[in-house]
């Protein structure tokens, strides 16, 4: 079956946001171009790693001698996006992701693939594998990518505070320290 590609070449908006309270949040990657919106769920750790790797790619591009691309070292003020997610209709839950650089358009390229039924359940039959597969393909200009990474780090960091004694998250309804055994 062919893969359905949700492609965004020059998105109007690309953000990570959450729904729920700290400790029970669901993370979403949402992309919009005009009226087309695609939202995919992802893990907090995937969000954090995505922001880290985007910044690494951009920082590395800055150091390339003779680099013809104008890569911002910080987030351009006009690209800061602190708005909530738009209407959330989850397309799929993200499994594998890839990041790259397209020098022909000076864009970060993000690909997100759903967790396959085979990943979730090894007892699949051939009938299930005939279902259409899909993926998200997003191309972000360097300024948008820098703003995306900054916002994502802030969203990830807005979770539950960590206990200074044990390092585990502190829940709103209390916390019992679990100190490591010495």
Q: For strands 3-8 and 133-141, give the pairing.
A: parallel
What are 94-112's pLDDT values in tens digits? 999 999 999 899 899 999 9
Model confidence pLDDT, tens digit, residues 119-152: 555 444 444 444 568 999 999 999 999 999 999 9
Residue (of 157, 151, 158) closest to 30 by Cα position = 151
Q: Tell whether the torsion through CA atoms of 41, 55, 136 and 112 is positive or negative.
A: negative
Quick one: pLDDT band at residue 118, thresholds 50, 70, 90? Answer: low
SS3 content of the chain, % helix, strand, coil (to 5): 25, 35, 40
- CA-to-CA dists, residue 142 to 52, 61, 100, 106, 178, angstroms: 14, 10, 12, 7, 43
pTM of this prediction? 0.81
Q: Region 50-59: what's the mean pLDDT?
A: 95
DSSP H stretches of helix in the chain: 44-63, 117-120, 142-157
Average pLDDT, the chain: 86
Nearest to 50 by CA among 90, 99, 96: 99
Q: Count how many Cα atoms sit within 13 Å of the Cα of residue 110 in the half-sphere of its side chain.
A: 30
Whose tokens are 């911002």? That residue is 72
């Amino acid at each position: 079956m062919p893969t359905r590609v949700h492609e965004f070449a020059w998105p109007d908006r690309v953000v990570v946001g959450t729904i729920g309270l700290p400790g029970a949040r669901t993370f979403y990657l949402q992309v919009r171009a005009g009226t087309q919106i695609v939202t995919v769920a992802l893990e907090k750790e995937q969000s954090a790693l995505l922001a880290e790797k985007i910044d690494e790619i951009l920082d590395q591009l800055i150091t390339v001698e003779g680099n013809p691309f104008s890569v911002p070292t910080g987030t351009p003020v006009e690209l800061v996006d602190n708005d909530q997610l738009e209407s959330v209709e989850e397309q799929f839950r993200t499994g594998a992701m890839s990041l790259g650089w397209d020098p022909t358009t000076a864009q970060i390229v993000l690909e997100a693939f759903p967790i396959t039924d085979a990943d979730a359940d090894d007892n699949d039959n051939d009938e299930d594998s005939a279902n259409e597969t899909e993926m998200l393909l997003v191309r972000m200009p360097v300024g948008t990518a820098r703003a995306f990474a900054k916002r994502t780090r802030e969203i990830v960091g807005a979770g539950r505070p960590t206990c200074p004694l044990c390092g585990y998250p502190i829940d709103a309804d209390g916390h019992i320290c679990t100190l490591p055994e010495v």
